[in-house]
Structure 1
Amino acid sequence: MINKLKFKNFVLIIGLGFMLTACSQKSDRVQEYDKPALYWYNEMLNQISTGYLEEADDVYTSLESEHRNSPLIPTALLILANAHIDNEEYQLANFYLDEYIKRFALSKNIDYVRYLKIKANFLGFSNELRDQQLIEDTIKEIEEYKNLFSNSKYMPLVNTMNARLYMAKASLDKEIADLYKRIDKPKAAKYYEEKVKESWVDPKEIEPVEMPLYKYPFEKNIF
């Protein structure tokens, strides 16, 4: 029992030490300013490599504020976007991608950046029964992507996401149609059944979404 208590105290002390070290490093950076662009860029990479994304965001702010026209900015934006995607922080990823698109729309790799934005939205779907508007918006974004970048090497990946989004949309419309059938509203049910046909060729191919049991009572009859 005593050994366990000592071990717990040891772990607590080590954890507290790491926290104080991180806070000290952050405090030091707050006092830093007027550094070369490469300094901020390398510091951002260092924070990402050690898993401190919030600190990396802060460092990028310093880089962008002090060196707005630095050639390192586009690369920094893409690195941060990818880091946040890997960390499943899709809204933050989109923030950096939107900034890139706004500032560097004529970049030669803009098709890659637009692909990343579609990917971030696609991965960000928590449940297609809740993200109706995001599905619609992303499908529109994919159509625009096809028109602008029909020869992009990322097109096969975009097409795969597009097919899965259409299946999700059809699944959603099918859920709504089934609900209207249960409450005896045949006209509304028929309307959504037609939407299912518009979204997907064969409704029998639509795969139901696998849902954790703890979510089922809350999600299944959301409409």
Structure 2
Amino acid sequence: MDKYFKLSSLFLAAGLVFALSACSQKSDKVQEFNKPALYWYNQMMDEISTGFLEDADDTYISLESEHRNSPLLSTALLVLADAHMSEEEYELANFYLDEYIKRFAYSKNIDYVRYLKIKANFMGFVYDLRDQQLVEDTITQIDEFRKTFPRSPYTPLVNTMSARLYMAKATLDKEIADLYERIDKPKASEYYNEKVKKSWVDPKEIEPVDTPFYRYPFEKNLF
């Protein structure tokens, strides 16, 4: 009995030491300030590489606050955007991309950044029957991208995303047309069917959205 009691006490003490150490490290980080830009940047990179993305966000705030004109800011924004995209946190990725566009609108690689923003929106398009506004917004961004950067090397990738988004939009319009047909509103149904016909998508090629069984009641209730 004494043996088990000693082991339990040992594990409890070790856990307490670990917790106090973690709190101490967190407290030390909170108190850090007035550091060189490279210090903050390297710390941010370490936190991203070890999976502490929230800490990296906080460290970027320190970098941006203390060194607003640092050349490291542009790279830091892109690194954070990419890290959040890897974690499927597309809204946060878009936040950093928007910040980059706001600060560095005339940089040489601005077409790449705008491509990443389109990609983040596209990757964030999860529910075919719920994200219609995101589809519309992304299509608008794609049209602007084509006009602004007609010779960009990222145009083929943007075109591929555009094709799939137009297919999604046609699917949505077809779902709405079918809804109006079911509730006996032929004029409304005809209006949306015409929208499908005017798209370059052949209505016969539109496949029904494959809705998982656990989402089916919620998705279908929308239409």
TM-score normalised by structure 2 residue count: 0.90
- Structure 1 residue aligned with 2:4: none
- Structure 1 residue aligned with 2:142: 142
Unaligned ranges ≥5, structure 1: 1-9
Instruction: State the Cα distance separating 1:206 from its structure 2 match.
Output: 1.4
Equivalent pair of 2:37/2:63 in contact (CA under 8 Å): yes
Per-residue CA deviations over 1:100-158 (Å, capped at 9, x if unaligned) read 00000000000010000000111111212111111111100000000011111111110
**Structure 2 residue 116 is the aligned partner of structure 1 residue 85:** no
Distance, in Å, in 2 between the alignment partners of 1:152 and 1:17 is 56
Equivalent pair of 1:174/1:193 in contact (CA under 8 Å): yes
- Structure 2 residue aligned with 1:32: 32
Equivalent pair of 2:146/2:155 in contact (CA under 8 Å): yes
Equivalent pair of 1:80/1:93 in contact (CA under 8 Å): yes
Equivalent pair of 2:166/2:201 in contact (CA under 8 Å): no
Alignment of 1:1-80 (within 5 A): 22-80=22-80
- Structure 1 residue aligned with 2:187: 187
Distance, in Å, in 2 between the alignment partners of 1:148 and 1:161 is 17
Q: Report the secondary structure of 1:220's partner residue.
A: helix
Instruction: State the Cα distance separating 1:221 from its structure 2 match.
Output: 3.1
Q: Which amino acid aligns with 2:135?
A: I
Distance, in Å, in 2 between the alignment partners of 1:144 and 1:102 is 16
Q: 1:125 to 1:12 in 2, by over 3 A?
A: farther
Q: 1:100 to 1:212 in 2, by over 3 A?
A: same
Q: Number of matched residues? A: 214
Q: Report the secondary structure of 2:221's partner residue.
A: coil
Instruction: State the Cα distance separating 1:20 from its structure 2 match.
Output: 6.0
Instruction: State the Cα distance separating 1:52 from its structure 2 match.
Output: 0.7
Larger gyration radius, structure 1 or structure 2: 2
- Structure 1 residue aligned with 2:212: 212
Q: Which amino acid aligns with 1:220?
A: K
Distance, in Å, in 2 between the alignment partners of 1:17 and 1:176 is 60
Distance, in Å, in 1 between the alignment partners of 2:141 and 2:170 is 18
Q: 1:190 to 1:82 in 2, by over 3 A?
A: same
Per-residue CA deviations over 1:5-58 (Å, capped at 9, x if unaligned) read xxxxx9999998877655443321110000000000000000000111100000
Instruction: State the Cα distance separating 1:178 from its structure 2 match.
Output: 0.5
Q: 1:186 to 1:140 in 2, by over 3 A?
A: same
Percent identity reads 74
Distance, in Å, in 2 between the alignment partners of 1:165 and 1:175 is 15
- Structure 2 residue aligned with 1:170: 170
Unaligned ranges ≥5, structure 2: 1-9
Q: Report the secondary structure of 1:118's partner residue.
A: helix
**TM-align CA RMSD:** 2.1
Distance, in Å, in 2 between the alignment partners of 1:168 and 1:16 is 54
Equivalent pair of 1:177/1:193 in contact (CA under 8 Å): yes
